[in-house]
Copies of this chain bind each other. A is one copy, B any other.
Amino acid sequence: MKYRRIPDETIQRLPMYLRGFSLLEDEKEETVSSRRLAVRLGLNPHQIRKDLSYFGSFGRRGVGYPVRATAQRIRRILKLDKTQKAALIGAGRLGTALVAYPGFSSFNLEIAAIFDKDPQKIGKKIGHLRVESIERLSGLRKRKIQLAILAVPAEAAQSVTEKLVKAGVKGLLNFSPGHLKVPASVKKIDIDLASQLSILPYYL
């Protein structure tokens, strides 16, 4: 395997593959071919093989991919082999829905802190976490939390982001609409739900 730049698109598909492999792990499958996996995931086998090959040789020709080992290797690549802690900023409607979501744990992701600026909400329990004051964001570095989920109103998003960056956050999942400036050293993913829904009518 020569060195090749790994496309972002490949990285984005890895969680899908991981979910597939994890499911097969639960089903006690030993191996799976790219073809069978592709059918399950609704994409094509070439893509899966190509994507995985960026990271080396995973499978055995004539056999397929060893389920357990490959799942573990993808976790390793995505740094999901150890639990990753994330902070949630904004204990609003969307935020509380996310905290209650059990689906993150299968990726070894954990929402480990909740922050808000509303005095009414600070101190209240959501799930097994207590909402903390936004003033305490600076403690994130010490608590080794480098990921944050941003679920505050758009007006507050930029200023909160700057506090997060100061607090050492390196990855940001942003739900607020509008453009958010972050330093190049910080990876940001935007999820604009209203925009997504707006696309659908076009295809009617």
Contacts and interface: CB of A to CB of B under 8 A. Distances in A.
A37 to B, nearest CB: 11
Contacts of A193: 98, 101, 103, 191
A173 B202 contact: no
B203 A12 contact: no
Given A100-B93, A146-B204, A80 B42 contact: no
A15 B195 contact: yes
A125 B78 CA distance: 42
A1 interface: no
A61 interface: no
Given A191-B191, A191-B193, A198 B42 contact: no
Interface residues on A, range: 35 or more
7 contacts: A14-B199, A19-B178, A42-B179, A84-B200, A94-B97, A94-B101, A171-B203
A201 interface: yes
A141 interface: no
A177 to B, nearest CB: 6
A156 interface: no
Task: State the majority secondary structure of interface residues on A.
Answer: helix
Interface of A: 11-12, 14-16, 18-19, 40-42, 77-80, 84, 86, 93-94, 96-98, 100-101, 103-104, 106-107, 109, 146-147, 149, 170-173, 177-181, 187, 189, 191-204
A107 B197 contact: yes
Contact of A203 (B103, B170, B203): B170
A200 B195 contact: no
A201 B84 contact: yes
Contact of A19 (B14, B149, B177): B177
